[in-house]
Amino acid sequence: MPEILLAIDTCTRRSAIALRDGTAIRAEIAWETDRHHTAAVSQRIHELMLACGIKAADLGAVAVAIGPGSFTGVRCGLAIAKGMAVSTGLPVYGASAFDVLLAAQPVGALPIVAVIEVGRGRVAAGRFAWREGGAVALEPWKVHTWQELADAISAPAWVCGDVAPGLQALLHGKATIAPAPLNLRRAGYLAEIGHARWQRGDADEAMTLIRFTPERRGHGSL
Q: Strand 14-20 vs strand 25-32: parallel, antiparallel, or unpaired?
A: antiparallel
* CA torsion angle 81 84 88 89 (round to 10): 20
- Binned at pLDDT 50, 70 and 90, residue 122 comes out as very high
For the chain, the structural domain boundaries read 4-97+184-208, 105-183
Contact 20, 187 (CB under 8 A): no
Beta-carbon contacts of residue 113 (< 8 Å; ≥ 6 apart):
125, 126, 127, 128, 149, 153, 157, 158, 159, 160, 175
The SS3 assignment for 133 reads: coil
Contact 111, 127 (CB under 8 A): yes
Return the closest-CA partner of residue 98 out of 131, 120, 126, 71: 126
pLDDT at 153 over 60: yes
Give the residue with greater pLDDT, 204 vs 134. Answer: 204
Task: Kindly report the average pLDDT of the chain as a whole number.
Answer: 92
Do the domains at 4-97+184-208 and 105-183 have one common CATH topology? yes
pLDDT at 217 over 50: no
Superfamily (CATH H level) for 105-183: ATPase, nucleotide binding domain (3.30.420.40)
17-53: pLDDT as tens digits: 999 999 999 999 999 987 767 888 999 999 999 999 9
Mean pLDDT of 87-107: 97
H or E segment at 98?
Answer: helix 97-102
What is the distance between the alpha carbons of residues 107 and 130, in angstroms, rounded to a whole number? 7
Superfamily (CATH H level) for 4-97+184-208: ATPase, nucleotide binding domain (3.30.420.40)
- Binned at pLDDT 50, 70 and 90, residue 215 comes out as low
Q: Quick one: pLDDT at residue 216?
A: 53
Contact 57, 106 (CB under 8 A): no
Q: What letter would DSSP give residue 69? A: S
51-81: pLDDT as tens digits: 999 999 999 999 999 999 999 999 999 999 9
Q: Quick one: pLDDT at residue 172?
A: 85
Return the closest-CA partner of residue 118 out of 79, 80, 68: 68
What is the distance between the alpha carbons of residues 134 and 154, in angstroms, rounded to a whole number? 22
Using alpha carbons, list the distances in angstroms from residue 113 to 44, 159, 163, 171: 31, 5, 11, 12
